[in-house]
Amino acid sequence: MPNLSHFDKLSEPVAAIAHAVYEMVAEINPDLARMKRWGFPGFVGNSTICTVCGQPNHVNLQFFYGAHLPNPEGLLEGTGKDLRHIKFRSMSDLARDGLRDVVLAAIEHDKSLKDEGLRARAETQ
3-class SS of residue 14? helix
Question: What b/e readout covers 9-47, taking b as 16+ CB neighbours within 10 angstroms?
Answer: ebeeebbebbbbbbebbeebeeebbbbbbeebbbbbbbb
pLDDT > 90? residue 39: no
- pLDDT tens across 71-106, in order? 999 999 999 999 999 999 999 999 999 999 999 999
Please state the domain extents for the chain. 5-120
Cut 0.85: pTM above it:
yes
CATH of 5-120, one of 3.30.70.520, 3.90.180.10, 1.10.10.60, 3.90.1150.200: 3.90.1150.200
